[in-house]
Amino acid sequence: MIKKLLIANRGEIALRIHRACQEMGIATVAVHSTADSEAMHVRLADESVCIGPPNAAQSYLNIPAILAACEITDADAVHPGYGFLSENAGFAEILEAHDIIFVGPKAQHIRDMGDKIAAKQLMRAAGVPVVPGSDGAVTNDDAPAIAEKIGYPVLCKAAAGGGGRGMKVAETAETLLETLATARAEARAAFGDDAMYLEKYLGTPRHIEVQVMADAHGGVVHLGERDCSLQRRHQKVLEESPSPILPMEQREQIGAIVTKAISTFGYLGAGTIEFLYQDGQFYFIEMNTRLQVEHPVTEMVTNIDLVREQLRVASGLPLSFAQSDIAFSGHAIECRINAEDPRSFAPSPGRITQFHPPGGLGVRVDSAVYAGYTIPPYYDSMIGKLIVHGRDRQECIMRLRRSLREFVVDGIKTTISLHQDLIEQPDFQSGSYDIHWLEKYLAGQ
């Protein structure tokens, strides 16, 4: 079993991992930049090491500094959380070379799924439905014919992309090459790789993803789906489980498909298979080889600690449950609370003067901030997640409404009021929204 874990992250996910370790008797090491010296995970960890200045490239992305922190603290494992180095295959390989456990999948799987073209080909071969598109990277010479075959509109997507960067829609043949050039430039700037592929653009899809977990003993399970269709600029704002529009038989069908695929790959650890869902059909878009920000909604409806299972699997132990042991119960919704102006979405770093999270039955707040804490301007603006659970979706929404009213964060601007507004909209309450709904709604405000 892992004895001492270094948490190569910050914020709420670092605290989430620390808590799981404490409950399993695993000592923790927090690493931090100089800007995070007063962060909650640093204050609570058994040991802490400063690894550099505020700039993430010199601290949280600084592999030599993290490796040195492992060596001076005798940490035998690293959990990368999400973001930063969580999907860096080279980082996983370096840790392995130093006999340090990487709490995540094999480096090859990170590399395969990080390449959107390779991931699509692997999934298609494993029997997973994919979005119609090019078989590989396209050039300016072959793109027009491929796009014509797919049918307009088409989506130009970066092979190394993520978070909506390097992704543009070409509505017609006349705009294809210009759109492709714009997407290439964005991809080159963001990822250092301008390889592009084409996909059929779906007009009104839902974003539905399936959580999977696998061990080294042949155990592979799925833990249901999450509906992440409320998005702004391809960034998720609110997630729920189960999806309010997915029939039970399709839930079981897609779960069986992805577990079979994961078994075929020999995958290890936690992963998320993301789909677009339209007209009753699933279309694979990508796989995230890490823990997701929205993993708590799955934990709420299954009563399974995903981080605990990650640590077990990384230690060489089997999953503590089989597929038949998973009992889905009720409904859960997560709101991402960001330090942003709720109308302009401009970042709002600064000192929190008052912080009062909601509580009560079925209410969970994952956050690492506290009254008196100063949010630095250098990192992601998410300061917490409010997750609520109810016996059904209606009870869940009622509990969420009450919890948002109780949530107090003073001294900075937050998106709490945005969530209060969103959950009152008839389309949300009926569950009839797609991935474009939120941006259309915001544009009309």
Give the pLDDT confidence of 24-43 residue by residue, as tens digits: 999 999 999 999 999 999 99
Res. 162: pLDDT tops 80: no
Res. 317: pLDDT tops 80: yes
Same domain, 224 and 175: no
E strand segments, 16-174: 27-33, 47-52, 77-79, 101-102, 154-162, 165-170
Same domain, 187 and 241: no
Domain count, the chain: 3
34 in a structural domain = yes
Please state, rounded to an integer, the average pLDDT across all residues of the chain: 96
- The residue-averaged pLDDT of 141-161 equals 94
Same domain, 192 and 75: no
Res. 259: pLDDT tops 80: yes
- Per the structure block, which two tokens stand in for 167? 């992704």
**Residue type at 23 in one-letter notation:** E
Final residue before a domain boundary, out of 87, 114, 148: 87
Same domain, 239 and 388: yes
Per-residue confidence band for 135, with pLDDT thresholds at 50, 70 and 90: confident
35 in a structural domain = yes
Catalytic residue among 16, 206, 290, 336: 290
In the residue annotation, 405 being an active-site residue is answered as: no
- Spatial distance between the Cα atoms of 17 and 272, rounded to a whole number of angstroms: 18
Q: What's the pLDDT score for residue 445?
A: 79
Same domain, 377 and 266: yes
**Count of alpha carbons within 13 Å of 173, Cβ hemisphere only?**
10
Q: What's the pLDDT score for residue 334?
A: 98
What SS3 class is residue 173?
A: helix
22 in a structural domain = yes
pLDDT, tens digit, 9 for 90 and up, residues 275-305? 999 999 999 999 999 999 999 999 999 999 9
Q: What's the pLDDT score for residue 165?
A: 86
Spatial neighbors of 440 by CB under 8 A, at least 6 apart, are: none
Which residues is 6 bridged to in the sheet?
29, 78
113 in a structural domain = no
53 in a structural domain = yes
Same domain, 177 and 299: no
DSSP letters, 245-307, are T--HHHHHHHHHHHHHHHHHHT--EEEEEEEEEETTEEEEEEEE-S--TTHHHHHHHH---HH
Question: Contact, 80 vs 289, CB < 8 A?
Answer: no
Question: Contact, 113 vs 287, CB < 8 A?
Answer: yes
101 in a structural domain = no
Per-residue confidence band for 312, with pLDDT thresholds at 50, 70 and 90: very high
Res. 56: pLDDT tops 90: yes
Residue-range definition of the domain harbouring residue 391: 206-443
On the question of a cis peptide bond just before residue 357, with omega within 30 degrees of 0, the verdict is no
Indicate whether this model's pTM tops 0.85: yes
Question: Contact, 369 vs 41, CB < 8 A?
Answer: no
- The residue-averaged pLDDT of 352-369 equals 98
- The residue-averaged pLDDT of 303-316 equals 98
